[in-house]
Amino acid sequence: MTYRVCFVCTGNICRSPMAESVFRARVSEAGLDDRVEVDSAGTGGWHEGDGADPRTVSVLEEHGYDSAHTARQFQPSWFARLDLVIALDHGHLRALRRLAPTPEDAAKVRLLRSYDASAADDLDVPDPYYGGMDGFEECLEMVEAASVGLLDAVCEDVGGQAA
């Protein structure tokens, strides 16, 4: 059975596609491609059909990650097929939990940085959209750090071991 993870930010052009690419790479490195499916979406549909922000693409490619992406909006019906919905900040967390059809679905929503012990109480990944390249680099660092703990949690859920 496939375990499905969806990363969600605001417009699905900066943070969530970055998290999707990084986590997909971690899943692949762990040899779990056939057991874990990774995608992303936005809470809003402003950028639906667009590619990732060029700065996201640049940072991902510079660090060796795949940057292929088409933005889409998260739909409440998706909860039925998802095992984990990863919000990039508290605003997304609240919005997604409000969209959840059941309490069980709401419990599937977690903050990405909650998987990073070094994050302490600072669990939001800041939106880099209105800033410069340094914000995108910082976003990537946060995503990479949290992806390690997230992979451990997913491996535990699927009964696999990271390679």
Number of domains in the chain: 1
Q: What pLDDT does residue 1 have?
A: 86
Q: What pLDDT does residue 160 have?
A: 58
> For tokens 């019906």, what's the residue?
77
Burial degree of 41 (CB within 10 A; 0-12, 13-18, 19+): buried
What's the whole-model pTM score?
0.96
Residue 131's CATH number:
3.40.50.2300
pLDDT, block means (10 residues), the chain with 163 residues: 96 98 97 96 96 98 97 98 98 98 98 96 96 97 98 90 52
Containing domain of residue 107, as a range?
3-158
Residue 78 lies in a domain: yes
Residue 163 lies in a domain: no
Q: What pLDDT does residue 159 have?
A: 81
Known catalytic residues?
9, 15, 127
Distance CA 36, CA 162 (A): 12
Q: What pLDDT does residue 113 have?
A: 98
